[in-house]
C-alpha cells in the first residue's frame, strides 16, 4: 500500500513515465520493423490462402490487445473505485480509446480478410458479434466519462460499466468453442501445440509484442497529458510549464 | 466493515451476479445462437423446417459438379450428408474436404437450395511445401496400414 501511495502519486508517475517512454517507444519501433519484415517478407505463403493470410499479423495482435486492454482498463477502474486511487482512475480513462482502436482495427482487418476468404464481410456469428459488443462497451465507457464533468464521479460511474463489461471477455474467447461459428477456433492455445507453422508463428509473436509495447508507450504518453490537465492548478505543473526549477 | 471492503464486496458480488445472469440468458438462447446446423441435426428435425437457415459441414470429396455459375456439391458431417445446389460466385477457400456454411432452404429430404455459400477456415497455417510433405507422409502411413 505504501508503495502504491508513493508511486501512485500523479506527480511521481509523471516523472517515472517520462523516463520510460523513450525506452518503450524504441522497443516498439524495433519490434514493428522486424515484425513487418518477418511477416511480409520472411514468412512463407500459406498452403491454402497464399499471401492473403498475412493480414493475420495485424488482425490477431489487435484482437488480443482489444481484450487485454479491456481487462487492464477494468482492473484500473475497479482499483480506482474501491481504493480511491487517482492514478488508477487516470490509467483506466486513457486506456479506453486505445482499446477501442484495437477493437476497431481487429474488426476492420477481419472483415477485409473475410470477404475473399469466407465470401462475406460480416456475419452475425457469436465471435464477431461479441467482439462488436466489446467495441460498444469501450464507446459506452468513453461516452459516460465524457458526460460527467466531475473527474471522480465520472471515474466511479464508468468503473461500474467497465467492471460489468468484463463478463464479455470470456464470451469472446470461448464463443468459437461454445457455438458453431464461422470464425475459426484459436490456432494458439496455452495447452495444445500451435496450429501455425513455426516460420509463421514467429512474426505473429513479434507483432504481438510490438502492439503490446505500443500500448504501453501510448498509455504512458496519454496518462502524462491527462495528469497535466488534471493537476494544472498545482504548483509543480505551473513550475514545469514555466520552465523554472 | 471498512468502506473500501464494502466496495470490494459490492464489486465482487455484482460481477458474480451479472455473470450468472448472462450465463442464464445465454443458456436460454442457446438454440438461437447457433450459426449453422449440421446435416445430422437437419435430418433429426432440429433445424427449422420452413424458411431460411444455415447448413454447415465439410464439402465431400469428389462431389463438386460445376456448370457455369451453377454448382452442386454434397455437405457432410461424416454421418449424414445433404446435396446443395447453388448459383453464384464461390469464395476462395471453397474446396473439397474443407468446411463450408451455406444459407438457404431445404427443398427435399436431403436437398438444399443455397442462396449464399461461405467457406469456413480451419485453424491450421503452414507453408505449401510443408502441406505437401504432410500429405505425402499421411498417404504413406495409410498405405502402410493397408498392407
Is A245 a residue whose pLDDT tops 60? no
Residue B111 is inside which H or E element, if any? strand B111-119
Residue of chain B with shortest Cα separation from A196: B125
Examine residue B134 and state whether it is found in any structural domain, yes or no.
no
Q: What is the pLDDT of residue A165?
A: 93
Phi, psi angles (nearest 5°) of residue B94: -70, 110
Domains, chain A, with CATH or none? 10-242 (1.20.120)
Locate A199 and state its grid cell. Answer: 516460420
CATH number of the domain within which B73 lies:
2.40.50.140
ipTM rounded to 2 decimals: 0.75
| CA–CA dist A115, A99 (Å, integer) | 25
Pair (B39, B86) in one structural domain: yes
Are residues A115 and A103 in contact, defined by beta-carbon separation less than 8 angstroms? no
Examine residue B130 and state whether it is found in any structural domain, yes or no.
no
Pair (B111, B43) in one structural domain: yes
Pair (B64, B80) in one structural domain: yes
Q: Do B127 and A46 touch (CB under 8 A)?
A: yes
| Mutant choice from A5, A39, A48 vs B, greatest count of B C-beta within 10 A | A48
By CB neighbour count within 10 A (0-12 exposed, 13-18 middle, 19+ buried), where does B86 fall? buried
Pair (B13, B39) in one structural domain: no
Pair (B87, B114) in one structural domain: yes
Is A2 a residue whose pLDDT tops 60? no
User: How sure is the predictor about B17, in pLDDT bands with cuts at 50, 70 and 90?
Assistant: confident
Name residues 71-130 of chain B within 8 A of A (Cβ): 89-95, 98, 101, 116-130
Q: Tell me the sheet residues that pair with B85.
A: B72, B113
More confident residue, B68 or A166: A166
Pair (B48, B114) in one structural domain: yes
Pair (B61, B111) in one structural domain: yes
Range of the domain at B22: 1-33
Q: How many domains, in total, are found in chain B?
A: 2
End-to-end Cα, chain A, rounded Å:
30
Pair (B111, B41) in one structural domain: yes
| CA–CA dist B16, A242 (Å, integer) | 50
Q: What is the pLDDT of residue A99?
A: 96
Buried b (16+ CB within 10 A) or exposed e, A165-190: bbbbbebbeebbeebbbbbbebbbee
Pair (B22, B50) in one structural domain: no
What is the pTM (predicted TM-score) of this model? 0.86
- Residue B55: strand, helix, or coil: strand
Q: What is the pLDDT of residues A73-110, one digit of tens each?
A: 999 999 999 988 889 999 999 999 999 999 999 999 99
Pair (B84, B52) in one structural domain: yes
Residues comprising chain B, all counted: 147
Pair (B52, B89) in one structural domain: yes
Q: Do A180 and B117 touch (CB under 8 A)?
A: no
Amino acid at each position: 500500500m505504501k508503495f502504491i501511495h508513493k508511486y501512485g502519486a500523479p506527480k511521481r508517475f509523471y516523472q517515472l513515465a517520462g523516463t520510460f517512454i523513450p525506452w518503450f517507444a524504441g522497443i516498439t519501433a524495433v519490434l514493428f520493423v522486424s515484425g513487418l519484415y518477418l511477416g511480409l517478407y520472411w514468412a512463407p505463403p500459406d498452403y491454402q490462402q497464399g499471401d492473403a493470410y498475412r493480414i493475420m499479423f495485424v488482425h490477431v495482435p489487435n484482437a488480443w490487445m482489444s481484450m487485454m486492454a479491456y481487462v487492464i482498463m477494468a482492473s484500473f477502474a475497479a482499483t480506482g473505485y474501491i481504493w480511491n486511487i487517482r492514478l488508477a482512475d487516470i490509467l483506466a480513462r486513457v486506456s479506453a480509446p486505445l482499446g477501442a482502436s484495437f477493437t476497431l482495427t481487429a474488426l476492420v482487418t477481419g472483415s477485409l480478410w473475410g470477404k475473399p476468404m469466407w465470401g462475406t464481410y460480416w456475419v452475425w456469428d457469436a465471435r464477431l458479434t461479441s467482439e462488436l459488443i466489446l467495441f460498444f462497451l469501450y464507446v459506452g465507457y468513453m461516452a459516460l466519462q465524457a458526460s460527467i464533468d466531475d473527474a471522480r464521479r465520472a471515474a466511479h460511474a464508468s468503473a461500474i460499466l467497465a467492471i460489468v463489461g468484463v463478463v464479455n471477455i470470456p464470451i469472446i474467447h470461448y464463443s468459437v468453442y461454445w457455438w458453431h461459428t464461422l470464425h475459426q477456433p484459436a490456432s494458439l492455445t496455452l495447452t495444445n501445440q500451435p496450429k501455425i507453422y513455426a516460420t509463421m508463428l514467429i512474426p505473429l509473436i513479434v507483432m504481438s509484442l510490438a502492439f503490446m509495447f505500443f500500448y504501453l508507450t501510448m498509455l504512458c504518453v496519454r496518462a502524462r497529458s491527462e495528469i497535466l490537465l488534471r493537476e494544472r492548478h498545482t504548483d509543480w505543473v505551473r513550475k514545469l510549464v514555466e520552465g523554472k526549477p | 466493515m471498512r468502506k473500501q471492503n464494502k466496495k470490494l464486496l459490492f464489486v465482487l458480488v455484482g460481477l458474480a451476479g451479472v455473470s450468472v445472469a448472462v450465463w442464464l440468458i445465454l443458456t436460454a438462447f442457446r438454440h438461437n445462437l447457433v450459426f449453422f446446423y449440421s446435416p445430422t441435426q437437419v435430418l433429426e428435425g432440429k433445424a427449422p423446417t420452413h424458411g431460411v437457415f444455415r447448413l454447415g459441414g465439410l464439402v465431400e470429396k469428389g462431389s463438386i459438379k460445376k456448370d457455369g455459375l451453377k454448382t452442386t456439391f454434397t455437405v457432410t458431417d461424416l454421418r449424414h450428408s445433404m446435396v446443395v445446389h447453388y448459383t453464384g460466385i464461390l469464395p476462395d477457400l471453397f474446396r473439397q474436404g474443407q468446411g463450408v456454411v451455406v444459407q438457404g432452404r431445404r427443398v427435399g429430404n436431403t436437398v438444399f437450395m443455397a442462396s449464399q455459400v461461405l467457406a469456413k477456415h480451419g485453424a491450421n497455417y503452414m507453408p505449401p511445401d510443408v502441406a505437401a510433405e504432410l500429405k505425402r507422409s499421411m498417404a504413406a502411413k495409410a498405405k502402410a496400414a493397408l498392407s
